Amino acid sequence: MSGKNLNEALDGLLRGFVERVAHVQAVVVSSTDGIRKHASGIESDDDADQASAVSSGMFSLANGADRSFVGGVGYTRQIIAEVDGGLIFITRPAEGTLLTVLASHDADLGLIGYEMKMLGQGVAPALTTAPRISATG
């Protein structure tokens, strides 16, 4: 599948996720360093970029808390945050990639978690973000 066809297929899957899963408002796929790759249900590219950056920051904080306070190795599996405007779900479906779902307070946490897992497993090979290689002179 070509890059364009792959992007169109992923965009279609994300649109379908937002339309199919009750109370989901938006979904964003980004790199773990906060670069947006795909989004659906978000008004503007700026908002999708901001959601990507916030997801990256939250994930990084959770990894640090895992290492610092609970004796883990800094491998966060998922984050669920309840905020005034609704719920934020963040998972890492593939290496270097985050899947973020924004939902209303009426959302079924178990259903969204399940659907995120299924989506992530189904498209994980296409979502893997290659590590960045720094240019050295």
In the chain, domain spans: 3-127
Give Cα separations from 42 to 35, 37, 81 (angstroms): 15, 13, 18
pLDDT digits (tens, 9 = 90+) for 21-37: 999 999 999 999 999 99
Who contacts 23 (Cβ-Cβ below 8 Å, separation ≥6)? 103, 104, 106, 107, 108
Of residues 43, 52, 32, 63, the one with CA closest to residue 127: 32
Other Cβ atoms within 10 Å of 10 Cβ, number: 17
Of residues 136, 131, 134, the one with CA closest to residue 33: 131
Q: At 2, is the pLDDT very low, low, confident or very high (cuts 50, 70, 90)?
A: low
Whole-model pTM over 0.85: yes
Q: At 69, is the pLDDT very low, low, confident or very high (cuts 50, 70, 90)?
A: confident
Q: Which CATH architecture has domain 3-127?
A: 2-Layer Sandwich (3.30)
Q: Look at 5 and 52; give whichever has higher pLDDT.
A: 52
Task: Tell me the average pLDDT across 74-100.
Answer: 93
Q: Look at 133 and 36; give whichever has higher pLDDT.
A: 36
